[in-house]
Structure 1
Amino acid sequence: MSKAIIKTEKGDMTVQFYDKDAPNTVANFLKLAKEGYYDGVTFHRVINDFVIQGGDPTGTGAGGPGYQIDCELTGDNQYHDRGVLSMAHAGRNTGGSQFFICHSRNNTSHLDRNHTCFGKVIENVDVVDDIRQGDKILGIEVTEE
């Protein structure tokens, strides 16, 4: 199983990816991470008890990598719970680089099978609670593939 460490100003979070449920989404995220795409990018959207969202190099919520990927909505792990990473999009099959991490299961069930869940924070999930709008992703280190 693929893993990475998302390094932030508030601490590091270890993520285990859902390689079987969302192989293309995981591959896209890991490719961007290895290229340094996320380095210095902010969490531009933070909603308490819902999500922290990042991955837009413009910081506006409208940016992306210049291409779109298809949603992957089948599989056993397609539900939004505390620490789950999921692809943000502006409609089905329009994701690219923006992702969010859920604070909890509260207020997230409507996202199930609409946004691709592609991993989960397995260490230091409390960092999610400390992130504020404008906090930076210092880098993402892929530790296992």
Structure 2
Amino acid sequence: MKYWPSVSRYTGVLSCMLCILFCWLLSGCSGREPHTGTRVVIQTRFGDIEAELYPEKAPATVAAFLRNVDSGYYRNTSFYRILRDDNQVTGALHSYLVQGGLWETKPALEQRLPLIPHEPTNKTGLHHVAGALSMARNTPGTASSEFFICLKDQPGFDYGGENNPDGQGYAVFGKIISGMKTVQEIYRQPEYEQQLTPAITILDIKRLD
């Protein structure tokens, strides 16, 4: 008992401390996980696609993507490419994705954008699962604005996977959390040699927080 102060002497202090403790506990019992990412919405005529980005895991990629968003570069661009079973070589390793960005509508701007240091999945801990948002590229470190959404789990896009000859994979930087039905509707649109005909307009991409 010698380590406890007298209740009669410290009643006000204890009451204050208990009140603070109660409020702290109450704030942590909302039933929701703390939000640590950054959300964006991709607006199309088929509906909105909401994604959460992971700046703590892929900081360079997220920063570059948000730079393009905040600059308005994705306004009136497009989803222009799809990969599915019926437009790939039989017997080859297939991919399942919808790709978009500046390439089809603003190619000159796309060529001027800074390149993004490659953030492979073995460094970020992220993976190409269904709904993953990832950067398209040629060689590692050449991504700038073009991105794709996975329609299925595709471990071949991860570091060491078979879908890219250099074995470095692609850089996942987010995931679709709402609007996959919209992505699937775009995925079902007419195409010719993997190019959507016509391309599906991205009205804009905006931050939600």
Q: TM-score, normalised by structure 2?
A: 0.63
Say if 2:204 is the partner of 1:139.
yes
Change (3 A) 1:13 1:119: same
Name which of 19, 30, 39 aligns with 1:3: 39
Distance 1:60 1:51, change over 3 A: farther
Retained in 2: the 8 A contact 1:65–1:97? Answer: no
- Residue pairs, 1:116-127, within 5 angstroms: 116-127=171-182
- Give 1:140's aligned amino acid: I
Cα 1:60–1:43 change in 2 (3 A) is same
Once residues 70 and 111 of structure 2 are traced to their aligned partners in structure 1, the CA distance between those partners, rounded to angstroms, is 14
Does the residue aligned with 2:74 lie in a helix, a strand or coil? Answer: coil
The answer on whether the counterparts of 1:82 and 1:103 sit within 8 Å (CA) in structure 2 is yes
Contact 2:77 2:106 in 1 (8 A): no
- Report how far residue 64 of structure 1 moved: 2.0
**Greater fraction helix:** 2
* Matched letter for residue 78 of structure 2: T
What is aligned with 2:143? 95
Provide, for residues 90-122 of structure 1, a one-character-per-residue CA deviation record: whole Å limited to 9, x for no partner. 1111000000001111xx222112100000000
The percent identity for this pair of structures is 33
Code of the aligned partner of 2:135: M
Shift of 1:75: 2.0
Q: Give the greater-gyration-radius structure (CA).
A: 2
Partner of 1:14: 50
Pairs aligned (count): 141
Deviation at 1:59, TM superposition (A): 4.4
- Whether 1:112 and 2:167 are equivalent positions in the alignment is no
Deviation at 1:76?
2.0
Q: What is the root-mean-square deviation in Å for CA atoms of aligned residues?
A: 2.0
Structure 1 distance, partners of 2:76, 2:47, is: 14
* Matched ranges for 1:23-38 at <5 A: 23-38=59-74
Distance 2:183 2:124 in 1: 25
Q: Which runs of 5+ in 1 are unaligned?
A: none
TM-score scaled to structure 1, two decimals? 0.89
The change in CA–CA distance for 1:61 and 1:116 in structure 2 (over 3 A counts) is farther
